[in-house]
């Protein structure tokens, strides 16, 4: 099996018909021309679907090269899909393959919009249903612990500056990472939305308080979001922007609060790596950015179960299904801790049972 990067057929080697249809799918509309079927898709979705289609073309170029001479809608049928799945199985499992096929179906709907691809969806579901799954095991972490960790990092950076008598880049990076962690603990935005924050655009100051004003274009659900930032964290944003951020190379050349050592805004992967590294060192396990959303919903469900559905708006979700899942998970943890306390009270140190008679 070729390495991952070699599995994709480069765009300039796609058949001419495929290239032209792909580009037309993302054409913006105007008063004279209708928009392409993919014009509304977010860049991340376009990228994923491009990768799946380029991977499928890479398979054809190696295993069924004669099919590339046919129109896109005439290349794919059940036997070809079966061969493609077998080809993919040498590098990944069936669950990953089912996800890839679903993205491939999305790409085909853009390139061949008039074709019924429901049979491919059925095939995808059948593969997903038969795939072995390992239940994810998470180390429990909630928002208040993550928020406290961010404060600890920022306070540690200030203490180190006072001890050294000068501000260094290492202090700036520690303060920046602490601010990222604390802000995400209070406002658990999705990775793309968090990375897109710009000072004066999404991050706005009114009086002494900062707030986040997220336009619909920066959110997955295409709904605008507005979050006030607590006074304590607003003060720390001021400290970061005036005292620490200027120490990061070329931070004055852009308006992202998350300046990097490369002289440009941090990319999503850089933010993820910084957070994982800091949480691994402090907590003993890494916390990725999506776990902040789990942590926020779980903490709300534990502390205020009567109003837990408010977490839907905090997370910018379009439905209550994910919020309800966290409520159920959190309540099961509360129940388990309650049972443990009852058992503990009913058991003496040597392991014998306490008498329940009065």
What's the pTM? Answer: 0.57
Domain residue spans of the chain:
4-130, 143-315
CATH 1.10.443.10 for the 143-315 domain, yes or no = yes
Mean pLDDT taken over the chain: 80
Mean pLDDT of 154-174: 94
Residue 80 banded pLDDT, cuts 50, 70, 90? very high
Comparing CA positions, the residue from 85, 96, 292 lying closest to residue 193 is 292
**Residue-level pLDDT at 297:** 55
Q: What is the pLDDT of residues 40-52, one digit of tens each?
A: 887 878 889 999 9
Mean pLDDT of 134-146: 70
**Residue-level pLDDT at 63:** 92
Q: Is the pLDDT of residue 30 over 90?
A: no
Mean pLDDT of 223-246: 91
**Residue-level pLDDT at 99:** 92
Cα 74 to Cα 191: distance, rounded to the nearest angstrom: 38
Task: Give 211's contacts (C-beta < 8 A, 6+ positions apart).
Answer: 203, 204, 205, 226, 227, 228, 229
Distance of CA 176 to the CA centre of its chain: 20
**Residue-level pLDDT at 185:** 86
Higher pLDDT pick, 216 / 336: 216
Q: Is the pLDDT of residue 232 over 70?
A: yes
**Cα radius of gyration (the chain):** 26
Pure H helices in 187-310: 191-195, 231-239, 268-283, 289-303
Q: Is the pLDDT of residue 113 over 80?
A: yes
């Amino acid at each position: 099996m070729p390495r991952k990067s070699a599995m994709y057929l480069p765009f300039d080697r796609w058949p001419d018909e495929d290239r032209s249809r792909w580009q037309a799918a993302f054409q913006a509309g105007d008063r004279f021309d209708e928009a392409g079927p993919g014009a509304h898709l977010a860049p991340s979705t376009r990228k994923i679907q491009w990768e799946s289609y380029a991977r499928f073309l890479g398979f054809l170029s190696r295993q069924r090269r004669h099919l590339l001479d046919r129109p896109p809608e005439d290349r794919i049928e059940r036997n070809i899909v079966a061969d493609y799945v077998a080809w993919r199985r040498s590098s990944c499992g069936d669950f990953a393959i089912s996800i890839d096929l679903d993205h491939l179906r999305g790409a085909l709907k853009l390139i061949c919009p008039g074709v019924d691809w429901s049979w491919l969806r059925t095939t995808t579901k059948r593969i997903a249903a038969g795939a072995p799954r390992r239940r994810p095991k998470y180390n429990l972490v909630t928002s208040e612990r993550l928020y406290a960790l961010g404060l600890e990092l920022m306070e540690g950076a200030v203490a180190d500056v006072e001890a050294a008598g000068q501000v260094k880049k290492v202090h700036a990076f520690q303060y920046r990472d602490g601010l990222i962690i604390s802000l995400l603990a209070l406002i658990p935005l999705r990775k793309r939305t968090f990375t897109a924050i710009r000072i004066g655009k999404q991050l706005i100051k009114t009086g002494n308080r900062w707030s986040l004003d997220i336009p619909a274009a920066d959110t997955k659900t295409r709904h605008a979001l507005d979050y006030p930032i607590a006074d304590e964290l607003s003060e720390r944003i001021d400290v970061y922007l005036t005292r620490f951020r200027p120490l990061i190379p070329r931070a004055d050349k852009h308006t992202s609060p998350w300046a990097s050592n490369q002289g440009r805004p941090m990319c999503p992967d850089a933010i993820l790596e910084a957070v994982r590294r800091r949480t691994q060192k402090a907590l003993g396990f890494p916390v990725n950015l999506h776990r902040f959303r789990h942590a926020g919903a779980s903490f709300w469900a534990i502390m205020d179960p009567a109003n837990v559905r408010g977490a839907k708006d905090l997370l910018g979700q379009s439905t209550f299904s994910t919020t309800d899942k966290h409520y159920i998970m959190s309540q099961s943890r509360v129940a388990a801790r309650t049972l443990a306390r009852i058992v503990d009270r009913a058991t003496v140190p040597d392991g014998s049972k306490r008498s329940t008679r009065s």
